[in-house]
Structure 1
Amino acid sequence: MKILIVDDDPLVYQSLQVLLTREKDMEVIGTANDGALAIEKCEQAQPDAILMDIRMPGMDGIQATREIKERWPHIRIMMLTTFEDEQNIRLALLAGAEGYLLKSTQVSSMSEQLRALVSGSSVLDAEVLKKLTQPEKQGLSELTPRENDILELVAQGFSNREIAKQLFISEGTVRNTLSIILDKLQVRDRTQLAIYYWKKK
């Protein structure tokens, strides 16, 4: 099994490289410290699985996951992060990741999870799964303050660019947050989102 490790912390990727290499059926074919380099490594080496950090300078893990899955859908991606918040979990899964583990996961367990991932299973850390399956409050109260801000501006007819300018965030952040809102509220598009908003107000 060929594995690519993507993380901007040298201590993390060096430790994982040493520990995973001890597994007889695993070969770490390289490391990368940002998403763009991860894409280059995929083109060169075609790993079976990637351990992907989320927050990195340059291209983050979520954008890299999206691009890798578009070009090489057979490559299995395990998000590996310290961030347990629901938004990152949902964004990672929407981008195409098949697994999500916390960096606190023991390496022995991580090896087993990687084997399961490559064999075709989806792998979610127990705490992650709990966050995704907890009953959610109905209505707008389940959204974060930032999600509510974006929802309100969408309902008022603003474009992504206008929303980004008004909230001092990037268009990419607006797009990602909109994906989360659509998923949380179970609506299909901006029009239905606006209708949902005005019905709830």
Structure 2
Amino acid sequence: MESRPIKVLLVDDHSVVRAGYGRLLKLADDIEVAGEADSGERAYAACRQTDFDVIVMDLSLPGMSGIEATKRILSRYPGVRILVFSVHEEAIFVRRALAAGATGYISKRAVSDVLVDAVRAVASGQHYVDEQLGDYGQTTATNPLASLSSREFEIFRLLASGANVNRIADELFLSPKTVANHTTRLRNKLGASGTADLTRLAIRTGVVSL
């Protein structure tokens, strides 16, 4: 009896990028692109409608980041596998994505057949990290963001992207007071006096782009 294809959800905020991924994956006769989403929130909602095997997840999304979306989806749908497909190649992003529960991580610079191989690998339960990403497990002592907790890192990203405390609280389902407390701690850890310092650091480390 013929096995069913791997059901994939593509998550990227650029429709052209999703179309390109979709065409590539559809060339594989054992993979079916069963859904698309342009945000973490819509990806979470799509999982209520369809039982996906693999979610191909970008990290840089409007609102909820790919890392936060990964955690939220897996807390509700632990059986799905998440493959991060990102422009971020720094070790800190790989480690944080895997810590959030992602099963694989590949760079958008990777050759096209890597995506298909990675989808197949994570669908079968294997971990797959693009070999071009180097030793992502090594401690990055020179990266000041390595000292942040997962929650602090997410709040740092949102602050540097221009979000205020109330918006961050809404997006992360936290109280404004909790967000403010995290903000104080992360500023102390990073030696930042204000949001401008955080934004400059986020740009320098590739967390946000100009």
Q: With the length of structure 2 as denominator, give the TM-score of the two structures.
A: 0.67
Alignment of 1:79-158 (within 5 A): 79-128=84-133, 130-134=134-138, 136=139, 142-146=141-145
Q: Which residue, 58, 61, 83 being the options, matches 1:78?
A: 83
User: Deviation at 1:161?
Assistant: 4.3
Correspondent of 2:27 among 22, 26, 30: 22
Q: Which runs of 5+ in 2 are unaligned?
A: 1-5, 150-179, 199-210
Cα deviation per residue 1:171-191 (whole Å; 9 max; x = unaligned)? xx9xxxxxxxxxxxxxxxxxx
In structure 1, the residue corresponding to 2:56 is in which secondary structure? strand
Deviation at 1:110, TM superposition (A): 1.4
1:39 equivalent in structure 2? 44
Match of 1:48 among 40, 50, 53: 53
- Alignment root-mean-square deviation, CA: 2.5
Whether contact under 8 Å (1:20, 1:107) holds in the other structure is no
In our comparison, the structure showing a higher alpha carbon Rg is: 1
Partner of residue 193, structure 1: none
Q: Structure 1 residues 110 and 147 mapped into 2: Cα distance closer, same or farther (>3 Å)?
A: closer
How far 1:11 moved relative to its partner?
A: 1.6
- For 1:164-175, list aligned pairs within 5 A: 164=186, 167=192, 168=194
CA distance in 2, matches of 1:70, 1:102: 25
Contact 2:91/2:137 (8 A) holds in 1 = no
- Give the Cα separation in 2 of the matches to 1:92 and 1:149: 14
Instruction: Classify the secondary structure of the residue corresponding to 1:131.
Output: coil
1:162 maps to what in 2? Answer: 184
Paired with 2:117 and 2:93, the residues of 1 have a C-alpha distance of 23
Q: SS of the residue aligned with 1:68?
A: helix
Figure out how many residues of one structure are paired with residues of the other and give that number.
157
Structure 2 CA distance for aligned equivalents of residues 149 and 89 of structure 1: 15
Q: CA deviation at 1:108?
A: 2.0
Task: Find the aligned partners of 1:100 and 1:84 in 2 and give their Cα distance.
Answer: 9
Calculate percent identity across the aligned residue pairs.
32
Check conservation: 2:54, 2:82, Cα contact below 8 A.
Answer: yes
Question: Do the aligned partners of residues 20 and 147 (structure 1) sit closer, same or farther apart at CA in structure 2, a change above 3 Å counting?
Answer: closer
Letter in 1 for 2:71: R
Q: Deviations over 1:149-168 (max 9, x none)?
A: 99xxxxxxx95242257644
C-alpha distance 45-102 of structure 1, shift in aligned 2 (>3 A): same
Could you tell me which amino acid in structure 2 is paired with residue 144 of structure 1? Answer: N
Partner amino acid for 1:116?
Answer: A
TM-score (structure 1 length as normaliser): 0.70
